[in-house]
Amino acid sequence: LLSVLAAVHVAQWLLRQRRRQLGSTPPGPFAWPLIGNAAAVGQASHLSFARLARRYGDVFQIRLGSCPIVVLNGERAIHQALVQQGSAFADRPPFASFRVISGGRSMAFGHYSEHWKVQRRAAHSTMRNFSTRQLRSRQVLEGHVLSEARELVALLVRGSADGAFLDPRPLTVVAVANVMSAVCFGCRYSHDDPEFRELLSHNEEFGRTVGAGSLVDVMPWLQYFPNPMRTAFREFEQLNRNFSNFVLDKFLRHCESLRPGAAPRDMMDAFILSAEKKAARDSDDGGARLDLENVPATVTDI
């Protein structure tokens, strides 16, 4: 099996080299079979990219595993790509980790399409209406922020009593997450609540995995035999299942308790009401829309 994989990747590498010679791709460093330029990028990728830009220019290409990556450097190149040609660069790569998040329904990590654009517009409109346009909703949001700010200040004062040193980061993370929980689910947690603490630890692990980049995304063959990368990816899958189940439970409880015609109590209610109204108005329309199935994933993104 390894011999076949090696032969396939060598053939792909030779084909890429041929295409590069014909000038069909941006310039870039030599990419090794199987791993590409992963070893050369290292941990400080921004420094590696700056060094490569001095040699290959503001637009160059590397390979991470079998995945081609075009790197942009400099304000002019980035502005031209992301602003002047925004739609051409708006999509996400078909990474395995992105398909895991919210069962592939995530807007933040989803495929750019007409369906995605309709879903995003509907979500953005609902968020704006709930958070700023309605006086009651704005007052509720302000109340959550003020309540959490008071508790945060009290905890900081208590923790720094008698001149003691205090790391404010854990308290600040919990405070911000509590505001988001109150906005999305209509409830806040004690700073010592075990369920909430576990949820925050999942969120931190998620950020580390996505922020650092999963090698399984660019070297998918790592999923097919025991190795530390496969173990980490399976833990990432379990983490996402746990978080999705948490949000799904909140969603089902909201669907059961939400009264017809009632004002939204929180963001989850606002999305459910918006989806129900949209479904009723477009019952004969087969086009893409924000429906109830997309509500948990949208709230998870927030």
HSE on the CB side for 141, CA within 13 Å?
A: 16
Say if residues 219 and 96 touch (Cβ distance below 8 Å).
no
Contacts of 248-251 spanning 24+ positions with Cβ under 8 A: 248/296, 250/184, 250/185, 250/299, 251/295, 251/296, 251/299
Residues in CB range of 250: below 8 A, 6 or more apart:
184, 185, 268, 299
The residue ranges of every structural domain in the chain are 2-90, 114-301
Contacts of 1-8 spanning 24+ positions with Cβ under 8 A: 5/34, 5/221, 6/33, 6/34
Say if residues 9 and 34 touch (Cβ distance below 8 Å).
yes
The tokens for 26 are 């941006």
Rounded to whole angstroms, the Cα distance separating 269 from 271 reads 5
> Higher model confidence: residue 177 or residue 24?
177
pLDDT score recorded for residue 10: 62
Say if residues 13 and 31 touch (Cβ distance below 8 Å).
yes
CATH of domain 114-301: 1.10.630.10
The answer on pLDDT for 55 being more than 90 is yes
Please provide the average confidence, as pLDDT, over all residues in the chain. 82
The answer on pLDDT for 188 being more than 60 is yes
Q: CA torsion 148→107→246→218, rounded to 10°? A: -110
Question: What single DSSP character describes residue 36?
Answer: B
What is the percent of the chain where pLDDT is above 90? 19
Say if residues 64 and 246 touch (Cβ distance below 8 Å).
no
Strand-strand pairing, 59-64 and 67-72: antiparallel
Ranked by mean pLDDT, the top range of 30-34, 52-56, 217-221 is 52-56
Helix (H) or strand (E) holding 69: strand 67-72
Range from 106-120, 179-193, 197-211 carrying the lowest mean pLDDT: 197-211
User: Counting beta carbons within 10 angstroms of the beta carbon of residue 232, is it exposed (0 to 12), middle (13 to 18) or buried (19 or more)?
Assistant: middle
pLDDT tens across 196-240, in order?
887 787 777 777 666 555 788 888 888 888 888 888 888 888 888
pLDDT score recorded for residue 287: 45
